[in-house]
Structures are given as C-alpha cells and as structure tokens.
C-alpha cells in the first residue's frame, strides 16, 4: 500500500496519493501536478480516480490538469453544479487495488463537502484512513462563513452533524487526513502536529469538546477574512480552470525590458526582506516576502495584468512561480535579481524609512505628529497593541485608505515587520510619502521590554 | 513536530526520528546512522535521547555509533544487563520539546522489551504514537522463541499481557509504530500496509482475535528459524558493537588481487541473478541475490574471514555494504563487477545446470536418478510441493548435508529460483558435481499447469 | 567565452557548444539535443546558429530538432543538396558575441565537408579553435570510401589538399575540435587523447607524415565496413529526420504484453552480458551488450519493426534509448528487466553453450566435428587467429550465412566474447542449434598461453 | 587520457588533474581538495604526484592536505627552501601512465617557479600541454613585485627569459595551462577566454609583442596591491599549512549566541548586498559581498580572531566557507541568516546612508560639506573620476584613515557600490558617523550622463 501526503507549502494544502497494487487515487490534487505523475511512475501504478473533497476557495484545484495528463476520472460532491467530472452519491464505493473507498457526504464547510474513507481489504473492512477535506482538521474544524450571514448558522449545524454523526462513528482508530495543515487561511488554529486520528480529535480537538449549541454559537461568531482572490478561485474550481500543462517560465529581464513591461501596466512584486526593500525598491512595487505570497498576494494582485518579480535569488523563482500559479496567477512575465542592475543603470528608486523599536520609542515620545499604524489582524490587535496606535488590517488598506490621515509621518507595525512592509508599500503607491516600517514589530517591542496595552 | 519513519530495506527494520522544537529522540537506530544526523541538521534539532525497544537479534543496533557522533544518551529496558547506556524503569517519563514520552515495560518478545508512547502537550495528554518494538506489529505480534523451549510459554503469556494490559489500554486512537514491516524475519505475517493504530490492531490483527489460551497456544507452536548470526547480534547488542564511524569501503579488485585474497581464506558472495551465476561463477562462491542478503547472508557467512563480492553493477555496492554492515560483517575487502574480467584473464570458472520447469518435467518423467531437492521453508513445503521431492530448508543445508545423497544428479527448487541458487552453490562447495537450479521454481511449475501435492 | 565539448558516448561523436556574450553556436548537434538547451539556459545565452560539418553517415543529426526548439538557423556545406537549412560559401563569416567564425570548405571525406575556425576578437584575429568534422581527427583522418570505388582516389586527394592547403595553414597554434573521438566507426585509429592542436597533428599524426602520393595510396587501400544503417542515416540527414521533441519512452512490460508484441513482429534486443544471455534468453533475441549498441545495432535492426528490450537494470534504459534514438530507431516499444519474470511465467527460453578457453582447448583437441568461427574484423583476423578457425565478420553473418556449415557443433569466438555472443544469437535465429560462445575470446586464449597463428 | 581543469572561483585559481592509465598528477591543488579525490575515484586512478608551480601568495596550497589523504608525493621548485616535499631539478622527468612530464625551471614571478610540460608517448615526444603557473597567463604574464623594489628588474628580466627561452621554444602547438584565469589578483589583464596555446600567446599576448627592454620596463613600472594576508600565505606555503581534512562547519547561531561570540572579540563579515547592509546591520561588521570575499577578506580579516558571518541565504554558507578556508581563515565559528532574527530580538542595529547617483548629484550641487571618497584602485581613479572627489583605495582605508577628514558627511563611491559599502563599513567602525554609500557607483553616474574627469 502506498500512502503519500503532499504538502503544498505556503498554502499548507495537503493532498494525498493513495495506492494499492497497480492502482492509485489522488485526493484534492494541487495545480502543479507533476508530483503525482512522478510518484505514479516511480511506484509503477496508474492513477484511476481523482476525488475532490469540495470546491476549494483558496487555491486552484489541479483535477483537470491531472486528468488530462493521466486519463483519471474526476469525482466531486453534490454541490455546486460542477461543469466537469462526475457527481458522487453519499455512500458510493470504489475499489482501488486491495482498497475499498467509501465516499461520505459531510456538508458544513460547504453544502457539497465529501469525505473519503479507505479500508484495506487484506486486513478487513475497518476504515484505516479518512480524508476529511475542510470538514475536520487536526485541532480545528472548517470555516462556515462562505455562504454569507444568513446561511452561517445552518452550515455550522451541518458541520456539527457531519463530524459527530458521519465521521466520528467510523471509530477512534481511523487516521485523519485533512486538506490543510498549520498555517492555512482555512483554519486558524490547526495544530502544528501533522498526525492525528478520529479518536485523538474526539478527545482533544477544542471544538469537539463543546455542546452542539456551543459549537454552533462559536462557529457563527468566529471572525475570518475573505481575500478578494477567493472569488476567482470559486469560479475557476466550479467551471474548471485553464489547463496549462507547464508552469509559467518567467524570463530574466534587463532593467530596460522590465521597465517597458511596467509601462504596459505590469504589476511588480518584490519578495526581498523588509530591510532590503525599504532601503531601495522600484517605484510602485508591492513588498511581499516569499512565505507571505500564498497569504497576501491574493489581496493585492489583479488577474488581468502581467506580473513582474524582484527576487533575492534565482533559486527562489520556482517557489514564487508555484505559489502564484496555485492561486491562478498565470501571467508572470519576468524577473530581476535584486535592484543592483536597476540602480547601476541609474534608474530611479524609492525607499521607506526603517525604524528599530528603539527608534520608534524615541519618536513616539518626542513627536506629536507620528501616526503609528498597526496592520495586524483584528484578533492580534484585540489581544494587545501599543497605546495610541490606530488599526487597519493590511488586507483592507487598499479599500479603506481613506481611514488613514495623509499628511503625517506614518510608522507601520505588525508582528515582526513583514506585513508592515507590505502595508507601507501600499501606502507609498497611494501617494503617501513619509512612511516608515518598524523592523521586528510587536515582537521586538515586547522583547525590548516596552509597554503594551491588553484588552 | 517532526515524525520520520526510516525503513532499513531488506531487514524491513523501522526506526523513528521524533522531534519537537529543537529536540529529538531516535527509537532503535540502525547502524549506518548518518541518516539521523542528516535529518537533525536539516531540521535544525539536537538528538537528545536514543531509546531502544529491546536487545535486537536480527541486526546490529546503531545506538553506540549514533551516541558517539551526537552525544545523545542511550536508554534500554531492564533485561539483559546491557554494558552501555542507562536502564529504564516502567513508567519513566521524558520531555522532548512539547512532547512527553512514557517508557512502558512490555515483556514477552524478550523479558526487557520496552514500548514508548508520545503525547503532544500542545494538544493534551492523550498518546499520539506508540513505538512498540517487536511487541506488536501491523497484523502480527513478536516471536517468543528466543528464550528456548522451557521459557516459551511464559514469554508468550507475558506478550499477551503486555499487549492487552499495557498497550491496548492506551486507546484505539494511538498510531502504531512497530520495529518491523513486512518482510522481516521477526514476524512472518506482518501486513504490507505500513499504517495502523491500536484500534485497528484490536479489531483486525488475527492474533488479537484469539482468547488468551489460544494466543499462547499458537505462539508456543509457531515455527521460526534462528539463523546462526543471531547469536553474534545478541552478543554485539548486549556488549556494544564495534563503532566504525564510516561504512567499509571495499575496493574494485583485479582478478589477480581478488584471487590472492581468496587464497588467504576470503569468502566470496555473488549477488548476480541465478541464470548469470549458474552460467559462470567463481569456484566456491555463494549465490545470494541482492534482496536476499539480509535474510540469508547470516546463515552462511562467517565473522572471522574477509568477504569478497561479485556484483552485477557498481551502483549495487553501497546497498550490499549497508546490508552486510547492519548484520555486523565489517571485513568487506573488495569486489569485482561480473565475471567478465575473470574469464578474460583465463581464470577458471564453475557453472551450474539451469533447468526450466519444462526441462524439469521432462527429466523427472525420464530419469530415475534425478533427486529433486526443495529448499523452501517448512511452512511452504507443508502447504504444497512436487511429489517425489525431498525437503531441506536452505539454511540447514550446510549443517545437514549428510541428509542428501551425493552421487546423483540433483535439481534444486524453491519458490522462484533464488534460494535454489544459494542451495546449489552450497552443494557445489561441498563437492557435489551434477547440480541444477530450477529457474522460476514452484511458481513457474504451477504457472505451467503441472501437478502439485498439497497436504 | 563558453567552450563545451559534448561527447555522445558509444558513437564517440563530439559536438561543440561555443558561445560569447549572450550568443552561441552549436557544431554538429546530436539528436537528443536537450543538453544544448540546458547549457544555454544555465549560461544565459541564445543559440543563434547550428553549423553542420557534413552530411553524417553514422548518426541522425539533431539540427532540425534543435532548430525547432530554439529558432536557431542551420548552415551546411555545398554538398549534397540538403532539403533544409542554408548553404554556405567557402570563406563565409559570422559573428557570435566577440567571436568571428570562418566557414572553410574542406572536401575529401565528402565533397561538401566544412570546417569552422573561431577567432576571439578581444585578443586578435588569429584562430583559436577549428572544428574539423570528419576531415581531421586526433592522430587520424576521415574515411574516403563513401563515394564508392571510382571516386575514392579523387576524394582522398581532396582530403589531402584540404588538410595541407586549408587547415594546417591556419597555424600550429590552433586547437583541434574534431567530430569524433576514439571508438568511432568513422576513424579506426583515433587517439584516446582528446586534446590536440594543428601543430601536434602536423608533427605526430601518422597520416600527415606521408607524402601526398603515399597518403592517397593508403587512403585508397584502407578497409572499412559500411553497416547497412548508414544508408538510412544518409537519407535522414539529407532530407531532415523526423522531429520527435522527446526521447521515446518504452514501457515496462509484463511477459504476456512482451510476447504479444513479439507476435506482432517486434524485434528483441538483449543487452545483458554474454554469460547471462547464454544461460537463458528469449527465443529470437539479439545479444548486443550495452556499449556495443552504437556499433552493432545498425547491422541487424530494421527500421520498420518495433523494438523490444531485455535489460539488466532499469537505469540502463535511458542509455539504450539514447543510443538507438541517435541511430534513428524511434519505435522502441517496451522492455523487461532480465528474464526472471519470463521464466517465472513458465514461458520458454533458449540457451547457448558457454565455453571457457580451457573448455575450447579440450574440445578442439578431442573433437573433430567442432567448427570454430571467428567473427572479428578482417584486420584482427589477419593479425592473428587460432589455427583451424574459419572467419566471417559478425556484421556479415546474416548476409553470408551460407558460408558457414550448418550441421556441426559451432563455437563462436571474438576478442573477448561480446561480438561472439551477438554472432551466436544470429546463428541461433537462423536455425543453428548447437552453438557455443567462447567466454573471454582471443584475449583469454592468449592469457592462457595457448598458441596462435600470426600472418 | 584524463584532463580536468579545476577552477576555484573567486580566486580564479586553476589547478589541473592530469591522468593516464591508472595514474594521475595534480598541479597546484587547492586546499579544499576533496574534488581531486572524487575525480580519482570516479576515473579509477591513483594520484601519484603533486607538482607545485611555485610558493603561492594568494591562497593556501592544498598539497599537504591532499598528500595526507592520498599518499601522493609533493614536488616543488628550488626556491624558497620548502619545509616539506621534494626539490626538483630543471629538466627532471616523470612518467605517469603513457605521459612523460618535464619539469622546467622558469624563474621570474619568483626565483623558484616551475613549469610542467606533458607529452603523450602514444603519439610521440612533442609536448601537448604545459602548466605555466604564474609565469604565463592567457594574454598576461606574472607579477614580478614580490621580491621588493631592488629585485624587481632582475625578476622581470628572468621572466622574459623564461618565457622566450624556455616556454615558447616548446612550440606554437602546446596548449597553455596557467594557474589563474580572469579575475585573479595575480594578473590584472588575464583574458576571459580560458583556452590558449603557446602560439596564440606568441602572436597575441600584448606583453609578448614588446622588446625585452620594453617588457622589463613595463613590468618594473606596473602597479600592484599586496594585501596583508599574502604574508600569511607565503608563510603557510613555505612551512606547510595546518591540515584540517574537513572544511570548518560554522553553526547557525541565535542572536544571543552570536553576540556572546562578538563580545569575545569575534569579527563579523556581512555578505549581503549594499542596500541590505546599508539599511540595517550589526555594529562593527564588515560589508563584503560574496564574490568580493577572495579579493577583499584578506585586507581586513585577522587570523587570530574568530569569524562570524551574516549571510543572505543558507546555501551561500559553503561558498563563503570555501573562500575563507582557501585563504587560511579556519576559525569560522557561526552564522546568522539576515538580520531579521537580530532586530526581532530588539538588538541594536546600525545603518548607512544610501544614495542614488541622482541623490549624489543633488547633494554635490547643494552641500559644501559633502566629502566624496572614491575607493577604487589607482588605475581606475587615474583613468576617470568625479571632480572634487578624494581618492583612497579601499584596501588602504584602515591603514591611512588619517588621510580622511572626520567631521564631514562622507559619501563613498566605487565602480558599482560594493567596495564602497566595504569602505563605508570600515569608516563606520572607526567611528565616523555620517557615511553614505553611492549605489551603482561610477557606472551609474556615467549611465545617468553626468560629467566625469579624465586625466
């Protein structure tokens, strides 16, 4: 029996390659799907089925891409009305080598969510694994807010029922295979531990310790952000995304070629660190650090403009391209390495102020006119912040720019400085001129022993 | 949390690298232990502890080797009286990052067997994993025959108690981490599936479906082979084996150099396929195919003579060296690739007869003087064989050579031809001259539709 | 400046990647041309031109394949009338970064042969390298026999003139870049040393020490074989071969699938060693050892039948496929690894007798009816052989099978046993039944101290 | 025949692995010498001899290291009086496989310089290659200034004689194998082209076009820098450097561990780009970009203090360690990646001003008090500079700090900004406070179309 969990880092998206004898199934394939084909070749098996647990919101599903390359058949749940693949019935069974697969309808996160349980018939009929998609995670459960306010209570109740009446009855002994690990936007409190069983969740998952009423109340009142790109993902995954067969191959550009594409309305993403970005960057570029791309690119990047990259190193290129490709950004035209070639050509650069927390403290004590803008999430702000700061989540700056005063010196702070750099780059694009980034953010502030306000 | 299962192929020995934050423990390290150091480096953790589940019989434990390279502390169970490391108490606890480790005394396979359960304190106190050594496998349990006939019933009862009173009470939800997978000499019926939980074993492990009396009776009556090298392993693992720090590096030899070492009493192992071996091989060499080395080298190779290799390809060298090193064969002096250089130097060669099953059928029908020697295990022989064949397990040929008639043409058969080739090479060494190997063995015989006798 | 010599092993074909600044040219690309694209990517250069030195006879030129993938322009000499690319004039110049390239018409090996000299303009106008195709090798010169008997004298004279009047005048200091290294069928005495200069050839190349008359006489009287596949190469390279873009990907077959394809007239090539082949092989298969494929596949394999492979190891697959692909064999359908699966399915096998030289000696002394067939080249046979043997070059066996007696036991011998195994496999295909291969061949015979006849 | 040129990037140091049959010699091995052992293993040859061309000044020779690992014998020229290895005589001969090696005394660069010519006896006695050390490069010749002023003329004359009377007479046809390529401190005008012959040098090397008198005059008047570490190299290479057997393995440090080592007098080298360094760096660190290490580390780093690294990426670690190790810096204790962990711990940072050339222009036009310090070489300064700037070579800043005014704003400029960043970091260490780096340097200044002064 073959069992491989494939972690698409950044998205913390987990897909599964499960095989027996010469056959295999893939659960929720990612879009850069060569990895499944490579495993199939190496293990000498044929991919028969692709099972989707639900219409995903946070990434482009790779089912169509993989189906075209392998001839595998795609299966979905009963909602929404997918434009490709086959619709499953609750309880439908499949055989893959010595494995028996049961499709289980587990609505809640969405009305069409499916789980897939696997029995190894050489041992017996008891389920070994269950792939639970966004229904049940390690220490967390799925979001129930995608249907809007009016449906949220009903979806939350469905989720409770799916977990307690459909999944847990499979038995404590079943190994849990969720669609996301720690770090995903689809579940804020997913544990860092990757391994669990239904029994462990029954015993220790905080949500599963609540009564049905408590569970529903908590799910209805949770706060989640919905980045704008989710709408594109929903559309793609409903209708079938473009099938590219290969990753985009952006080219190394000269500064002149780069600027020509900028003049044609290309958007620039700079993945260097906040100090490097702050010291010198191309006018109009977004500062998004490498690991932040899956979480924040979807807040600011458009789908109808070319994308250009400023990278620290060439060997980051593939990772950046994979991150963007998984979110449906296919028009990645080119890149430059650092800004050295740029300034050597005497092309103009912008900079941001860079403040250590010591600098910030001094400035706050001295200057009346310094605005301190905290761009962390509502939860983070609510738990603690610096007195006198104002708050606007980094994802909302573009939309709610009018909430921020324009003529003052502004210092942007977040947890460690990365989101602050993105926030500052957005402000600078909007015409703000005296913008500073606090290096090290709230963590450095607290490490320095400075006072914070807790609510 | 880091969880890596390391499979030493051939032995089907499983060791575990389990870490949290910047700390890690290794369970039952293999002797070629660089792999743990590499993982530690890559994950940026320090190996704190080495936990042994028991004095192993089938391989050299790598604890001392790894301890010297990392400074980690070694812990064993209360039996035997190990000459190195620390002795554990039942219930002793350790903390590794966010993990809590419980040492559990689970005697049965040996009186000193330990299991180790891991809780992730960021989630709670429930055990996530349990490392069970040779106590409990996927679909099988440990052998109880190493104490000899008189202790076998007691050890079997202990094993039952350890499983039912110590392990299963941890809960159905606990993921099973045994010391061996399918293919090990330490459990003949281990499932091919690698993943299981205590609940799955409770429900489906055939041994755990028996009553205590039935369980003991079955364990007492099971038949197991004890290859001679086990005694060396027990001594090594009790006293601490030689610490080499590096794998032996045998040299590519000219035929002349090779023969000089043979003249000094070196033993030759030829890992080519049965047809290649049969057609031309060096006088006195053992035919042991690559994958068969961990199972059969220990039946025939001495510890006090140099070992020379005849390999099909240079890239098999590392695998062969690892296999032998894990079994304590450290004096691997050199190798040649095939026998082409040998015969080009006009050095003498031996050959064996090679029979297809069609040839065998014809010969059996025609010749009165053909002895057909079946060298499979007792279980295989008992379940089915060719009428008129005689039986002697391949591991016993050297010792019981007198049971076989000497002056007749002899055809050696096994399941597919590999053990037959080893058996034939032993007979040839002992002076038998008219020896044939049946290519394809019993499987080919049955695929050809010929008659077999079932008991 | 970038200078890479790419050696297509087996053919001993040398191609060159020469670049400067962001531009590059390729001289005589091989058909599996991804290697040039990889270098171009890594060096960040664009391949502008593909220069062919001549219509090759021994392999499929990769120009069209590479041109389609890169957009580079193809240039040839003035003969024959190529169906693709551009025709060069003697003395035509090109600029590639800081390099100046001179095309020099150097007829002789063929009437259209070109050489290409490179100057580095940053240093001056003197030529640094010259790519001489099949005109001048290290210690040898090109063949002049492809135009047939009547043109041979003229072509030989042309070759002399090209070397002495066109190449050597470039100066002793010019580094020599020929199209073949040691082991090629295109020059029997090419030195093993890869590096030379025009001056070194002038001083030490044996052919260049001769007078013009001596040179022509020697070239006219040289003996060369022309394997049948050369005709296909000439046609391909004249008209443009099929462009495949990818190497064929033969599949691992079950014995049943393999036999089905054999029933549809597929040809089987077995690349295992002579002892392995001799002991057990599939009926009708050719025995061609891996390194012998480029030299011997073209004597026996057809272009209009599928090819199946029997390989020793999976990791030989790519090499075998490359070797065959370079010779235009594109229909490689599948492979099996060894014959173990074959005989385990109880499918029928053939074998050959295997004789050591000791066995051969005994047989020759005892048996009157043993035919010893020597299949080495005319040159080898003429220089020395075993008394009483008969001679027929391995490449001519299929055509001249009638020259060999059929009803006798036949032992086939060559230098070390590999060509003998091919020869024996051909005889067996033709219905000969009592065929033996002499392991170690003439080398072993002499190493054993047995008598040979020298002429 | 095996011919491998090994380029130690950074130093642009070329060593050679030359072998025949089963033997090989190494010319001028680098200190991280595993590469030669790997080639020897792969090619199945034994390294017999190590030939040094001279006592090197710019790197630690790896002869002792390699000799200990392989048992090879070391040979040097007759000067200085080496404390290890064997002394050669002019004309001494060695045989290596089919190669004949001639040791040729070619004084000039130093009195003991040797060259080594190789003939391939299978072709004849003419030399194929000559390894010329620092005597003759592609388009340049060796320095003659290491003996001090009084010996310079004599050494220059010796060099002329060695080239014209010892090397060129070997013949135009001999392939040139010098000890350095383009980018070395040992020859400022070495061509980028790697391949040459004695004939090409005779025809095109600018120095070889001069009369003897002109040659000597030019060599006597050339300007070269002598970085302080050269003295250490000379001592090491005379007496034999420490043999470490392995590269140092610096550890990833926490900011706290890092600072503790700084408190114990460790020196910090920051290899990030000038903008990243300028925006935020650890107090007291040297800014030396990766590729600049071999050229500039030896100007500032001591041999008796530990070295700590600030790296952009973990995968630069090995390169940095090799660079330093080759220069004899063995005490490399640890590293951190970027300064993010540093400022997150609220540890203090320094910054430098960063000026685009546009900023510089504006400042120069406006401010009377801006000192513009040009830290390029004398040659660069002499050929062109910005009016009003002052000049001090970056390597001389520490020694001649008193030449620079202290109380003014200072902008540091070089060709593109990297040496300026090093210069600025030295000034900052010396207590200067208002220091700026000109990004893009003179190249950007000229690309912007601003005025320069040419002499």
CA atoms within 13 A on the CB side of B191: 26
Q: Quick check: A143 contacting D, CB < 8 Å?
A: no
Q: How far apart are CA B33 and CA B65, in angstroms?
A: 7
Neighbouring subunits of A (3+ Cβ pairs under 8 A): B, D
- Residue-wise DSSP of A254-266: -HHHHHHHHHTT-
> Tokens 């295997």 appear where?
C354
What's the pLDDT at B389? 94
Q: Cα separations (Å) of B240 from B81, C382, D231? A: 12, 65, 50
What's the pLDDT at A259? 96
Q: Which of B1, B98, B120 best probes binding to A when mutated, by most A CB atoms within 10 angstroms?
A: B120
Q: Quick check: B272 contacting C, CB < 8 Å?
A: yes
Q: Cα separations (Å) of A115 from A141, A162, B141, D447? A: 13, 10, 32, 62
**Cβ A122–B198 below 8 Å, yes or no?**
no
Q: Quick check: B22 contacting A, CB < 8 Å?
A: no
Q: What is the 3-state secondary structure (H, E, C) of chain D?
A: CEEEEEEECCCCEEEEEEEECCEEEEECCECCCHHHHHHHHHHCCEEEEEECCCCCCCCCECHHHHHHHHCCEEEECCCCCCCCCEECCCCCEEEECCEEEEEEECCCCCCCCEEEEEEECCCCCCEEEEEEECCECCCCECCCCCCCHHHHHHHHHHHHHHHHHHHHHHCCCCEEEECECCCCCCCCCCCCCCCCEHHHHHHHCHHHHCCHHHHHHHHHHCCCCCCCHHHHHHHHHHHCCCCCCCCCCCEECCHHHHHHHHHCCCEEEECCCHHHHHHCECCCCEECCHHHHHHHHHHHCCCCCCEEEEECCHHHHHHHHHHHHHCCCCCEEEEEECCHHHHHCCCCCECCEEECHHHHHHHHHHCCCEEEEECCCHHHHHHCECCCCEECCHHHCCCCHHHCCCCCEEEEECCCCHHHHHHHHHHHHCCCCCEEEECCHHHHHHHCCCCCECC
What's the pLDDT at B184? 86
DSSP letter at B138 equals S
Q: How far apart are CA C66 and CA C74, in angstroms?
A: 9
Cβ-proximal residues to D152 (8 Å cutoff; 6+ apart), any chain: D144, D145, D219, D220
What's the pLDDT at D455? 67
What's the pLDDT at A44? 87
Q: How far apart are CA D291 and CA D47, in angstroms?
A: 31
Cβ-proximal residues to D67 (8 Å cutoff; 6+ apart), any chain: D50, D73, D74, D85
Domain boundaries, chain C: 2-239, 251-344, 353-454
Q: Which of C275, C319, C341 best probes binding to B when mutated, by most B CB atoms within 10 angstroms?
A: C275
What's the pLDDT at B455? 67
Q: Sheet harboring A435-438: ordered strands across?
A: A353-355, A435-438, A409-413, A370-374, A390-391
What's the pLDDT at C406? 65
CA angle B291, B297, B298 (to 5 degrees): 130
**Quick count: other Cβ atoms within 10 Å of Cβ D350?**
18
Say whether B153 sits in a helix, a strand or coil.
helix
pLDDT of residue A387 exceeding 90, the answer is: yes
CA angle B295, B298, B300 (to 5 degrees): 115
Q: Quick check: A199 contacting B, CB < 8 Å?
A: yes
Q: What average pLDDT does the segment A367-372 reach? A: 84
Q: Quick check: A194 contacting B, CB < 8 Å?
A: yes
Sign of the dihedral through C-alpha B196, B197, B198, B201: negative
pLDDT grade for B450, boundaries at 50, 70 and 90 = very high
C340 contacts on B by Cβ (under 8 Å): 273-275, 416-417, 440
Q: What is the dihedral of CA B288, B292, B295, B300, to 10 degrees?
A: 0
Q: Which of D128, D171, D200 sits opposite C195 (nearest CB)?
A: D128
Burial of B78 (0-12, 13-18, 19+ CB in 10 A): middle
Name the CATH superfamily housing domain A2-239: Ribonuclease Z/Hydroxyacylglutathione hydrolase-like (3.60.15.10)
**Cβ C345–B417 below 8 Å, yes or no?**
no
Q: What average pLDDT does the segment B366-394 reach? A: 93
Q: Quick check: B175 contacting A, CB < 8 Å?
A: yes
DSSP letter at B250 equals P
Class of the B353-454 domain? alpha beta
Q: How far apart are CA B449 and CA B443, in angstroms?
A: 10
**Cβ D204–C172 below 8 Å, yes or no?**
no
Burial of D133 (0-12, 13-18, 19+ CB in 10 A): buried
What's the pLDDT at A455? 67
pLDDT of residue B403 exceeding 90, the answer is: no
DSSP letter at A162 equals I
Q: How far apart are CA A147 and CA A154, in angstroms?
A: 10
Q: How far apart are CA C400 and CA C160, in angstroms?
A: 36
Q: Cα separations (Å) of A41 from A150, B195, C251, C258, D131? A: 48, 22, 10, 19, 49
In this prediction, the residues of chain D whose per-residue pLDDT falls under 70 are: 405-406, 455
Q: Which of A279, A344, A445 sits opposite D276 (nearest CB)?
A: A279
Class of the B251-344 domain? alpha beta
pLDDT in tens, B159-196: 999 999 999 999 999 999 999 999 888 877 899 999 99
pTM exceeds cut of 0.80: yes
Can D251-344 and D353-454 be said to share one CATH topology?
yes
Q: Quick check: C122 contacting D, CB < 8 Å?
A: yes
Preceding peptide of D80 cis, ω within 30°: yes
Q: Sheet harboring C127-133: ordered strands across?
A: C93-96, C99-105, C114-120, C127-133, C175-178
In this prediction, the residues of chain C whose per-residue pLDDT falls under 50 are: none
Q: How far apart are CA B275 and CA C339, in angstroms?
A: 9
Q: Specify which residues C47 forms β-bridges with.
A: C24
Please name which of D402, D390, D389, D393 lies closest in space to residue D430, comparing C-alpha atoms: D402
**Cβ A200–B3 below 8 Å, yes or no?**
no
C175 contacts on D by Cβ (under 8 Å): 175, 195, 197
Q: Per this entry, what is the length of chain A?
A: 455
Neighbouring subunits of B (3+ Cβ pairs under 8 A): A, C
CA angle C423, C425, C429 (to 5 degrees): 115
Q: Compute the nearest-CA separation of D107 from chain C (Å).
A: 24
pLDDT in tens, A182-210: 988 887 789 999 999 999 999 999 999 99
Q: What average pLDDT does the segment A298-307 reach? A: 96
On whether the CB atoms of residues C31 and C60 are closer than 8 A, the answer is yes
Say whether B253 sits in a helix, a strand or coil.
coil
Say whether B285 sits in a helix, a strand or coil.
coil
Q: Compute the nearest-CA separation of A361 from chain D (Å).
A: 12
- Residue-wise DSSP of C384-447: -B-TT-EE--GGGTTTTGGGS-SSSEEEEE-SSSHHHHHHHHHHHHTT--SEEEETTHHHHHHH
Counting one residue from A and one from B, how many pairs have CB atoms under 8 Å apart? 93
Sign of the dihedral through C-alpha B40, B44, B48, B53: negative
**Cβ A200–B173 below 8 Å, yes or no?**
yes
Q: Quick check: A191 contacting B, CB < 8 Å?
A: yes
Q: Which of C278, C312, C354 sits opposite B312 (nearest CB)?
A: C312
What's the pLDDT at D383? 93
CA C263, chain centre distance (Å):
30
Q: Quick check: C448 contacting B, CB < 8 Å?
A: yes
Q: What is the 3-state secondary structure (H, E, C) of C70-137?
A: HCCEEEECCCCCCCCCEECCCCCEEEECCEEEEEEECCCCCCCCEEEEEEECCCCCCEEEEEEECCEC
Q: Which of D276, D357, D445 sits opposite A276 (nearest CB)?
A: D276
Which runs of consecutive H residues, i.e. helices, occur in A147-197?
149-161
Q: Sheet harboring C267-270: ordered strands across?
A: C251-252, C332-337, C307-311, C267-270, C286-287
What's the pLDDT at B226? 93
Q: How far apart are CA A74 and CA D447, in angstroms?
A: 57
Q: Which of C339, C356, C416 sits opposite B275 (nearest CB)?
A: C339
């Amino acid at each position: 029996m073959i069992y491989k969990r494939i972690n698409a880092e950044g998205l913390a998206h987990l897909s599964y390659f499960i095989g027996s004898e010469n056959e295999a199934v893939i659960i929720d394939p990612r879009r850069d799907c060569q990895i499944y084909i490579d495993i199939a070749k190496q293990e000498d098996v044929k991919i028969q089925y692709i099972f989707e647990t639900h219409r995903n919101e946070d990434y482009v599903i790779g089912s169509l891409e993989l189906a075209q390359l392998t001839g595998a058949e795609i299966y979905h749940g009963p909602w929404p009305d997918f434009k490709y693949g086959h619709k499953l019935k609750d309880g439908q069974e499949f055989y893959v080598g010595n494995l028996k697969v049961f499709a289980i309808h587990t609505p809640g996160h969405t009305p069409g969510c499916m789980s897939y349980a696997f029995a190894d018939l050489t041992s017996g009929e008891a389920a070994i694994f269950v792939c639970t998609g966004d229904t049940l995670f390690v220490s967390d459960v799925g979001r129930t807010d995608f249907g809007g306010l009016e449906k949220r209570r009903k979806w939350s109740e469905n989720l409770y029922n799916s977990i307690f009446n459909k999944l847990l009855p499979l038995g404590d002994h079943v190994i849990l295979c969720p669609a996301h690990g720690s770090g995903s936007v689809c579940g804020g409190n997913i544990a860092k531990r990757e391994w669990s069983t239904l029994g462990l969740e029954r015993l220790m998952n905080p949500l599963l310790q609540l009564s049905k009423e408590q569970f529903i109340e908590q799910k209805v009142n949770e706060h989640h952000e919905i980045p704008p790109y989710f709408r594109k993902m929903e559309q793609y995954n409903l209708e079938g995304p473009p099938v590219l067969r290969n990753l985009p191959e952006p080219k190394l550009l000269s500064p002149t070629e780069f600027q020509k594409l900028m003049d044609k309305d290309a958007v620039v993403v700079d993945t260097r660190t906040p100090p490097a970005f702050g010291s010198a960057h191309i006018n109009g570029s977004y500062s998004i650090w490498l690991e932040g791309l899956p979480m924040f690119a979807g807040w600011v990047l458009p789908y109808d403009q070319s994308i250009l990259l400023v990278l620290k190193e060439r060997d980051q290129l593939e990772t950046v391209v994979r991150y963007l490709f998984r979110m449906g950004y296919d028009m990645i035209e080119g890149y430059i390495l650092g800004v050295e070639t740029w300034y050597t050509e005497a092309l103009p650069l912008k900079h941001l102020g860079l403040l250590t927390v010591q600098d910030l403290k001094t400035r706050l004590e001295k200057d009346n006119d310094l605005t301190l803008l905290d761009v962390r999430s509502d939860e983070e702000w609510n738990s603690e912040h610096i007195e006198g700061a104002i708050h606007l989540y980094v994802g909302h700056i573009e939309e709610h720019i009018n909430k921020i005063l324009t003529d003052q010196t502004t210092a942007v702070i977040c947890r460690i400085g990365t989101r602050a750099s993105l926030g500052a780059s957005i402000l600078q694009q909007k015409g703000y001129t005296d913008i500073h980034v606090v290096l090290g953010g709230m963590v450095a502030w607290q490490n320095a022993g400075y006072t914070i306000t807790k609510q």
